[in-house]
A = this chain, B = another copy of it.
Amino acid sequence: MENLKEYIQSNSQRFLDELFGLIRIPSISSESKHKDDMVTTAQYIVDQLLKAGVDKAEIMPTTGHPVVYAEKIIDAAKPTILVYGHYDVMPVDPLNLWDSPPFEPEIRDGKIFARGAVDDKGQLFMQVKAFEYLVSSGQLQFNVKWMIEGEEEMGSPALAKWLPGHKELLKADLILVSDTSMIAINIPSITVGLRGLAYMEVEVTGPDKDLHSGLYGGAVANPANILARMIASLHDENNHITIPGFYDDVLELSPEERADMARAPFNLDEYKKKLDIKTTLCETGYTVNECTGIRPTLDVNGMWSGYTGEGSKTVLPSSAFAKISMRLVPHQDPHTIAALFARHFESIAPEYVKVKVTEHHGGYPYVAPTNTAAFRAASKAYETTFGIKPVPTRSGGSIPIISTFEQVLGIKSILMGFGLDTDAAHSPNENYHLECFFKGIETITWFYKYYERELKDQNV
């Protein structure tokens, strides 16, 4: 591994050029107009993987956007690592808040600014480049399979359906994923918990058409006002969610576990300053890290009704809409929660409106063990490149497919992410530190090395 740093350094410009080519394709999975871009992106990944040294790579159709599958089998008797990543990205609106066009990557202040820079094109590319180094230097000691999907930002609906028919193809000892964050650029961490997700869309309808607010206002229930009232009632004064049964399956952590979590470095003043907020708003009785890590939440992700253009329009809208998602923790079941939400939302609808509730994708929460060869190997790899032991953390985010992998394929994942909370994933001006990108390639390479040793030690 003595020439690893040198290899990265001497190839750094090529790595970035190749990554930028990937980023430039606007692969927004949730917008149907980008359907062709998804295929173009998948083909780009195929080409990159072939260049990096896989034996074969192909675009496999699914019920939605295609999956890229690739493999390098060095010896059927050796253990297999299945690398998972996603080539799709989030929508980019509001576009006017971007300082540079989202699909024209630009380096400023040592960071790559672009949609997908960190989530997940940049992180996926670290995996490709670590693999490339191991292959080209003749040090690869694992069979490596690749499963790169195009619907992660939609909750991986097609991949979830595709998995059961490809269990044999995907057989592996471990799934390796780079799609999460670290605590800070100098405080590495390994994500050992992910929240689940239930995502709902609601429509509240009053009169059958938009009305003149002067002629009808005061007598006809306004669905925007009613929706506001219904949303407001979903939390109580302790910011506790009021849906009956919502907390029934929530795993309550022991005082010891909570004390352990509280040792993770956290500066509330910096947190507030970074977000430009005066105070946080947590569930009573829980800290910020607990509220984003071990407690379920309910957030409006979108809301719209009536006239939203320039100036004024005196309309009493016919309908009001909201996208509302809930982050879930072990052992909440997203389908159970979605059903509880729907039943509750319908039950609180007053008789002067009609309510329609639909369910978008969901996902189960996930917990990873820390007493495994993979965790120990990852921990050593971070320590080697960052100089300090990584902290095991529970992320507030969701990668629903990770728990599906466990359920369907029976394989655990190791989440080696190198993003930062400040990367603005899902937001305008998404960015990725070049330092994280290059250190990530190094760390992943070390992981292969240490994982090999850990497995050997286990078998002694």
Contact = CB atoms under 8 A, between A and B. Distances in A.
The size class of the interface chain A forms with chain B is 35 or more
A445 interface: no
A275 interface: yes
Given A277-B352, A307-B323, A327-B214, A228 B300 contact: yes
A308 B214 CA distance: 27
Interface string A329-364: 000000000000000000000111100000011000
Given A276-B208, A312-B154, A300 B214 contact: no
A217 interface: yes
B396 A292 contact: no
A215 to B, nearest CB: 5
Contacts of A82: none
B300 A222 contact: yes
A303 interface: yes
B303 A219 contact: no
A313 interface: yes
Query: Most chain-B Cβ atoms within 10 A of its Cβ — which of A94, A282, A321?
Result: A94
A217 B426 CA distance: 13
A306 B303 contact: yes
A41 interface: no
A421 interface: yes
Contact of A218 (B216, B282, B305, B308): B282
A395 B214 contact: yes
A424 B32 contact: no
A30 B301 contact: no
Interface string A226-264: 011101111100000000000000000000000000000
B315 A218 contact: no
Contacts of A353: 277
A113 interface: no
13 contacts: A197-B314, A207-B277, A213-B426, A217-B327, A218-B282, A218-B296, A225-B235, A301-B312, A302-B305, A303-B305, A312-B323, A312-B325, A315-B426
